[in-house]
Chains A and B, each alone.
Chain A
Amino acid sequence: MNALEVDRLSIEFRTDRGVLQAVDRISFAVEPGRTLAIVGESGCGKSATALAILGLLAENAGRLGDIRLAGELLTPEAQRQARGRELAMIFQEPMTSLNPAFTAGEQVAEALRLHEGLSPRDAMARAVAMLERVRIPEAARRAKQYPHQLSGGMRQRVMIAIALACRPRLLIADEPTTALDVTVQAQILALLDELKRETGTAVVLITHDLGVVQDHADEVVVMYAGRVAERAPAARLFAEPQHPYTIGLLGAAPRLDSKRPRLASIEGTVPDLRDPPPGCRFAPRCPFAIEVCATTPPLREIAPLHFAACHRAPLA
């Protein structure tokens, strides 16, 4: 059974300047122990999707479509119940996610007391064990320290310890390493992979970094302007991308092995989602756009398990 199923999820935000459709009928699923990456640029709807799964959308948001956790429909009440227990999260900025007034150990222990009903003493012992497990050196001493006494990488480890303390079915990681230095980022992502393998937790990894996707995802959803542009197993997506947006995005990222004569440049800017263009939302920036692109392309299966929402796919 899938750990998570998202079925035709739509999200709208009511703003002073009209209704903004952040996410438009997206669907995907994640199996236990697997990582699904949602990749896209600012405003593509990836973070709104994460918040919708967690039931943490702002007051002015409306949501349509079904979200299922291990087959159970997630109502707002069910989300409240599951959050922190079966449904865990880590965010980009560990400093703002941790409570500055409690020690690292207390914050991990709180999750265990709340969700597993452990006594304060047992909870603290388990918390220290958890901090060891996320490879915090001298865990017993660090457990007594406050967030401001820890480095950025260490804080993110504490967040991971809190998130995984109750063995969740699903972990939503929204840009978990974007605020960290590259050597620390590599440590944290390797740690997440290892813990995922051990616990069978499914991971939804939200990122803008294609390199991170390439190294750590099993399956990828590429989002553009609130819709799924392409969905495929990771290896397949990088070997044979089919949606022009994915193709452009891969060409826009600089490479380490050689200097490109010029980076691929996707001209123009993302559309205003209060007034999106009709048809394919990428068409105004797409060098391959033709007349039919004025109609919305369905997400078609181009090859087994490889879907693209493009009238022109497969591109040869």
Chain B
Amino acid sequence: MSLDRPAGKVPLLELEGLVKHFPFRDSLGRRRGAVHAVDGVTLAVPRGSVLAIVGESGCGKSTLGRVALRLVEPDAGSLRFDGEDLLALRPAALRAKRREMQLIFQDPFASLDPRMTVEAAITEPLILHRLHRGRERARVAELLERVGLRPELARRWPHEFSGGQRQRIAIARALASEPRLVIGDEPVSALDVSVQAQVVNLLGDLIRDLGLTFVLISHDLGVVRQVADRVAVMYLGRIVEEAPAEQLFLTPRHPYTRALLAAVPGQGGALKLLEGDIPSPVSPPSGCRFRTRCPHAQALCAEVVPELMGDAGRESAGQAAHLTACHFQDSLPPATPIREAAADARLARLQSFFSTNREPTA
């Protein structure tokens, strides 16, 4: 957990003021503007913790994940892994460093090479980083068991597996180089609910058992609730709120976070719906980017960009930082609480038979 780490330890991953714009050009090659994908993001991920980055499509969360691993070069800002400046590394040193940072993608059908057996796919990173030399096969078997697959499956091809099994293989491959940091970009979004539950449980086990530091990029707030220690909410390239998961879900402050939570289906129909669509990231609104859809917007919101900041009173009370980028965070009405599911003893008991291999007694 992030909160009880010894004081003075550097976070494993630190992003500061990161900016990434993607310019686009007209048919004559003239620059016609840029997509402001990431626009000044500062985040720290403590060792052994899970940070979730949530937001809707186009908010810049996937770009941020790639910039964090320097798979995409940022235009500005700094990037430190274990205290070391990643942007200063030469290509060879960066490649070596990648051993410690891995990425899991959404679509296991696209991320596995169809012409490589499972064994070849998982052995590749071992060879690349010269790990477990001479006993690669045994290591592959260990990794497969670790992700809940039978080692005999090593000689099979990706097309022989279901979506959930492929995502397990992709996870085994990501773990092969013994990374300290794993970034999962919508790692369970392509899976059916029951399979998604299996993979979410697996990720939780791996994070705990291997002491992984994990960044979960997701649009699915339920999955985020289940996995994350801390959550950062992104809107049009900026973080609008960042807080411990429990606080973010129970006492959201930013109007966008509140709207996002209220829109999750299964709460009896959203109370207040957001109007309109997300503005274009090519020409984001001035001031607060959410103001065009915000029910609380005032004149100030169009003029001044709100900074991401905490509430001094609460933090001095010893609570972990709850940061919000809203001029009116202290004067907003209290958030409508998310609807609690009724405690249902019968259902909980029946469902417990699915969680373990216990024999039902009923």
Which A residues form the contact surface with B (CB < 8 A)?
41-42, 137, 151, 153-154, 181-187, 189-190, 193, 208-212, 214-216, 239-241, 244, 247-260, 262-267, 269, 287-288, 315-316
Contacts and interface: CB of A to CB of B under 8 A. Distances in A.
Given A183-B273, A186-B265, 15 more contacts: A153-B277, A208-B193, A212-B266, A248-B354, A249-B193, A250-B351, A251-B355, A254-B225, A256-B225, A256-B249, A256-B261, A257-B249, A258-B225, A263-B200, A263-B226
Contact of B266 (A183, A210, A252): A210
B92 interface: no
Closest 9 pairs (CB-CB, A-B): A211-B266, A211-B265, A251-B351, A254-B222, A252-B197, A264-B354, A263-B197, A181-B56, A41-B192
A288 B360 contact: yes
Nearest to A266: B194
B338 A183 contact: no
B198 interface: yes
B152 to A, nearest CB: 17
A42 B109 CA distance: 15
A247 B193 contact: no
Given A41-B192, A182-B56, A184-B277, A251 B265 contact: no
Contacts of A41: 192-195
Contacts of A266: 194, 197-198, 354
Interface in B187-215: 192-198, 200-201, 204
B57 interface: yes
Given A184-B277, A252-B193, A215 B225 contact: no
B25 to A, nearest CB: 19
- Which of B193, B195, B355 has the most chain A CB atoms inside 10 A of its CB? B193
30 contacts: A154-B277, A181-B56, A181-B57, A182-B56, A183-B56, A183-B259, A183-B263, A184-B277, A193-B269, A210-B193, A211-B265, A212-B266, A214-B266, A214-B268, A215-B265, A247-B351, A248-B354, A253-B193, A254-B200, A254-B223, A255-B222, A256-B249, A256-B266, A257-B340, A259-B245, A263-B197, A263-B355, A264-B197, A265-B201, A269-B195
Nearest to B224: A254
B354 A287 contact: yes
A142 B97 CA distance: 50
A182 B219 contact: yes
Interface residues of B, number: 60
B222 A241 contact: no
A93 to B, nearest CB: 14
Contacts, number: 166
Given A153-B277, A265-B355, A287 B338 contact: no
B359 to A, nearest CB: 8
Contact of B221 (A151, A154, A256, A315): A256
Contacts of A211: 264-267
A260 B341 CA distance: 12
B260 interface: yes
Interface string B264-301: 11111110011111100000000000000000000000
A193 B269 CA distance: 10
A304 to B, nearest CB: 19
B347 A247 contact: yes
Contacts of A244: 350
B7 interface: no
B214 to A, nearest CB: 15
Contacts of A249: 193-194
